[in-house]
Amino acid sequence: MKFIAFHLMPYADLDLSYSEKYDSAWVTLPNSYYDPVKGHALYNRYLDELEFADGLGFDGIGVNEHHQNAYGLMPTPGVIAGALARRTKGSLAVLGRALPLVNNPLVIAEEFSMIDNITGGRLIAGFVRGIGAEYHSWNMNPAFSHERFGEAHDLIVRAWTETGPFHWRGKHYDFRYVNTWPRPYQQPHPPIWIPSQGSRETIVWAAAAERKYTYLQTYSPVVAVKRFLDLYREEAQKAGYTATPEQLGWMAPVFIGETDASARAEAQPHIEAFANKFLRMKTEMVRPPGYLSLASAKAVTEAKAGRGTVQTVDALIESGQFICGSAATVRDQLAAYERTLGFGNFLALLQFGTLPHDATMRNIERFAKDVIPQLRSPLAPAAIGAAR
């Protein structure tokens, strides 16, 4: 198994009593809740945490993109990836850029190419549709999300792989001169990973024989992770091939303490803040009309059952959404999940909600020293994300 230390870079100093006045930490929470002096410290703290993880033997570090909320402070992930590019050695996973939100997908082709060049080919390029709330924040039409995602992807891959200039004529984008400079360092292009909450259309698309992209199930109960990873494998079989573990991944928050009990006690306020304050969104905010097809809406609603209601640390551990305990417990649990779920990439969210710096650093260190070595596959392929 390959391990990536993933970070959301939340506004951990959020006044959690906001929920007495506001419905959500997304879209409508006034940005007066953000203090730039604290933000300055947080950004630099988080960069330190990711650089620390990179130095301890994770296969890579991961960042992502969110807009107008306290949940994640990386509206432009390329800025963060740029800050990390020169001082890290492992894979740099941007998981990912929200293709449908931008009016010019070529800025993403350019940004990713720059990172890939600076790092000498350490970029993992993540493509996502963005959280539904971001369609409110950026006023992008969610009913065209899938169409724009597909077309933007096709445009970016062609810009990376075909000699320019060429004319792109699409439904949503038209560019007379596509001629991306710089070209990506990795050839034909960086590995493409597709994180998702479980949209059926996205899974079917990622598993298609002409793509075989690595699919990542984001923060979800284990039962849902299994269902969606199984769906990917089934689609692969239909497409005439067998999906490998390297094509599948899972992202979950993890906390390791001295003992199961102390880990649970220490993590409790921070993971409950993550679930109940930072992820607090009503259904219509997180899944605006058209964001999911009518069929997918039903499946995701089932998978995310409980989100929006108050969740306890015990319930989150019970459902497998949160992996927490002593190093031995976490190691055994991950080994068991690897066997039953069949994924080859694990993205550990080692800072979540309000978890402070010292606890995060201990968490990163314990995961790197007490979990990764025992679970790393001796027969793993040379390059993470071998699927192109």
Q: Which spans of this chain sit near another protein (rule: CB under 8 A)?
A: 135-136, 139-144, 282-285, 288-290, 294, 297
- For residue 306, the number of C-alpha atoms closer than 13 Å in the C-beta half-sphere is 16
Residue with Cβ nearer another protein (179 or 283): 283
Tokens matching residue 251:
């992202």
Exposure on the CB side of residue 348, measured as CA atoms within 13 A: 30
Minimum distance from residue 205 beta carbon to another protein (Å): 18
**At closest approach, how far in Å is the CB of 297 from another protein?**
6
Q: What is the DSSP letter of 142?
A: G
The nearer residue to another protein, 298 or 376, going by C-beta atoms, is 298
Query: Quick one: CA dihedral 124, 78, 250, 327, positive or negative?
Result: positive
Closest approach of Cβ 276 to another protein, in Å?
20
Handedness of CA 249, 81, 49, 66 (dihedral sign): negative
- Work out the widest C-alpha separation in the chain, in whole angstroms: 61
With beta carbons less than 8 A apart as the criterion, state whether 216 and 313 touch.
Answer: no
Residue type, 208: A
d(CA 226, CA 229): 5
Q: Which of residues 171 and 238 has its CB atom nearest to another protein in the complex? A: 171
Distance of CA 284 to the CA centre of its chain: 22
CB of 174 to another protein, least distance (A): 15
> Least Å distance between CB 171 and another protein?
9
Whole-number minimum distance, CB 146 to another protein, in Å?
12
Between 60 and 288, whose beta carbon lies closer to another protein? 288
For another protein, which is the closer residue by CB, 29 or 243?
29
Smallest gap from Cβ 289 to another protein, in A, equals 4
Evaluate whether 344 touches 385 at the Cβ level (below 8 Å). Answer: no
Nearer to another protein, 3 or 291 (CB): 291
Strand ranges, E, within 131-265: 166-169, 174-178, 192-196, 214-217, 248-257
Is 160 within 8 Å of 95 (Cβ atoms)?
Answer: no
Give whichever of 101 and 355 is closer to another protein, judged by the CB atom.
Answer: 101
